[in-house]
Amino acid sequence: MSLINYVTRVQFGYGEIATLKDELALAGITRPVIVTDKGVRALGMLERSEAATGFTPVAVFDETPGNPTEASAVKATALFREADGDGVIAIGGGSALDLAKAVAVMAAHEGPLKTYAVIEGGLAKITPRTFPTIAVPTTAGTGSEVGRAAIIILEDGRKVGLLSPYLVPRAAIVDPELTLSLPPVLTAATGMDAISHCIETYLAPSFNPPADGIALEGLRRGWANIRLAVDAPDNRDARANMAIAATMGAMAFQKGLGCVHSLSHSLGGINPKLHHGTLNAIFMPPVLAFNRDAKSSVDEGKYARLASAMGLAADADLGAAVEEMTRAIGLPTRLSELGVTSDLFDRVITGALADHSHLTNPREATAEDYETMLQAAL
Note whether 196 and 329 are same-domain residues. yes
* pLDDT confidence band for 285 (50 / 70 / 90): very high
Name which of 255, 7, 18 is nearest 136 in CA terms.
18
- Mean of the per-residue pLDDT values for the chain? 94
Cα distances from 338 to residues 37, 175, 328, in angstroms, run: 24, 32, 17
Cα–Cα distance between 25 and 89 in angstroms, integer?
12
Give residue 1's pLDDT band: very low, low, confident or very high (50, 70, 90).
Answer: low
pLDDT at residue 283 greater than cutoff 80: yes
Pair 306, 214 in one domain: yes
CATH number for position 310: 1.20.1090.10
Same domain, 192 and 143: no
Separation of CA 324 from chain center: 22
Strand-pairing partners, residue 151, are 161
User: How many angstroms separate the CA atoms of 346 and 123, rounded?
Assistant: 28
Distances (CA, A) of 93 to 35, 67, 81, 211, 370: 11, 10, 23, 23, 29
Cα(209)–Cα(68) distance, integer angstroms: 32
pLDDT score for 369: 98
Q: 261 and 344: one domain?
A: yes
Q: Which of 133, 161, 178 lies at the terminal end of a domain, its last residue? A: 178
48-67 mean pLDDT = 89
8 Å CB contact between 245 and 198? yes
Q: What is the mean pLDDT of residues 226-247?
A: 97
From the CB of residue 273, how many other CB atoms can be counted at a distance below 10 Å? Answer: 10
Q: Is the pLDDT of residue 192 over 70?
A: yes
**CA 324, CA 318: separation in Å to the nearest integer?**
10
Residue 36 carries which DSSP code? Answer: -
Higher-pLDDT residue of 321 and 144 is 321
Give yes or no: residues 208 and 332 share one domain: yes
pLDDT for 21: 93
Average pLDDT score over residue span 36-42: 92
- Mean pLDDT in residue range 182-210: 95
Inter-residue contact 138 to 93 (CB < 8 Å): yes
Count of CB atoms situated within 10 Å of the CB of 127:
11
- Per-residue pLDDT band at 371 (split at 50, 70, 90): very high
Of the residues 119, 147, 178, which one is the last residue of a structural domain? 178
Amino acid identity at 179? T
Q: Could you give the CA distance from residue 66 to residue 72 in angstroms, rounded to a whole number?
A: 11
Verify that 15 and 154 share a domain, yes or no.
Answer: yes
Average pLDDT over residues 43-62: 88
Residue 3 has pLDDT above 80, yes or no: no
Amino acid (one-letter) located at 182? L
| pLDDT, average across residues 102-126 | 93
3-state secondary structure of 376: helix
The domain of 296 spans 183-377
Amino acid at 247: T
- Between 255 and 61, residue with greater pLDDT: 61
> Does residue 304 sit in the same domain as residue 352?
yes
Does residue 220 share a domain with residue 153?
no
Q: Is the pLDDT reported for residue 273 higher than 80?
A: yes
Q: For the whole model, what pTM was predicted?
A: 0.92
Task: State whether 355 and 262 are in the same domain.
Answer: yes
* pLDDT greater than 80 at residue 335: yes
Q: Do 198 and 305 fall into the same domain?
A: yes
Longest dimension (CA), the chain: 58
For 84: left if phi > 0, alpha if psi spans -120 to 50, otherwise beta; the answer is: left
Q: What is the pLDDT of residues 162-172, one digit of tens each?
A: 999 999 999 99
What is the CA 141 to chain-centroid distance, rounded? Answer: 6
Average pLDDT (310-339) is 98
User: Where among 115, 147, 178 does a domain terminate?
Assistant: 178
Residues 117 and 147 placed together within one structural domain of the fold: yes
- Mean pLDDT to the nearest integer, 245-252: 95
d(CA 334, CA 266): 17
Name the band, by pLDDT with cuts 50, 70 and 90, for residue 52.
confident
What is the tally of structural domains in the chain? 2
Q: Could you tell me the CATH number of the domain that includes residue 130?
A: 3.40.50.1970
90-103 tens-digit pLDDT = 999 999 999 999 99
Residues 68 and 121 in one domain: yes
